[in-house]
Structure 1
């Protein structure tokens, strides 16, 4: 994507968001976007146990956009590679090495898969599901205000639990899989407390900032 998007323009990202906790206290959010205004890309948001928020993005353009939409203490532009082989995900984003596996979808996953994709991608649908999402998964929001005067909507289309994880950050083992606790603080909402991969259509409306 070239140039500066106009204020009020809505940008759509189709892909997956993985929210993971570890016994070391580090929480990780992986975005994997086969379809986006920037072309296919992946990114990693990481919050350390001491609260430092780090973004790993593959290009200056994606780093600028994500950094203006969410809040980080540190932003690094590094290659981010995500490989999905069946239920096993592998993420390489220096200084992070991550591998995790997903399990079978539960009742909520089946319910989300029944929602037509065209409907799930509409901001009005995300606004309608915001309250039920907050009741079912405390901390999760499907709409809200982002950085730079932007607005954002999440339309979930599938959900699978994460069942195992191995990860290192800067060469240190992050421990075993754990709940995402405390909630991550990159934006207006967190990911589910129980580690999961969510199929999602994200819409970002640009503001004045």
Structure 2
């Protein structure tokens, strides 16, 4: 590059290393990223996720302990949506019931299988599935399907990047429920229609 790359560039490169399973380069990038911006908890989480994807649980523990020692906390995933000119929260039993129905429909009619490799925690497979199913954008989608008419697009804003499993989930919902979903995550807008996303699965 013509200029010295900022932490954001190293962050993007680290994400690419994870997507393409380039462990050797990923470790170098992780070290550089933490040198450049040691107080950003998001960078620590990215590094931890890189190690977790390689099942390097001791390294994950070291990064997490370092975060704790430095007083850094992971930003929790959060989604919100507007219905009827109001911003809604959606933690309720009915939403979890609706979400369970959606998942069952996607599994039976769309061939959906949870991508548990994306859950970067050393837990049982069933727990990984539950963790994926509880992602905030899915709760927002369930709420949107419960509270809006069939011809209304569902618009969601999310504070973090949408994961690959939720991205696949949204594509199936748009096709099987014939609903347009617009999800604004930390990186871009995703417009899901008829089982496709405007990002062409590159984000």
- Normalised to the residue count of structure 1, the TM-score between the two structures is 0.20
**Higher RCO structure (Cα 8 Å, ≥6 apart):** 1
More strand by proportion, 1 or 2? Answer: 1
Larger radius of gyration: 2
Q: TM-score, normalised by structure 2?
A: 0.21
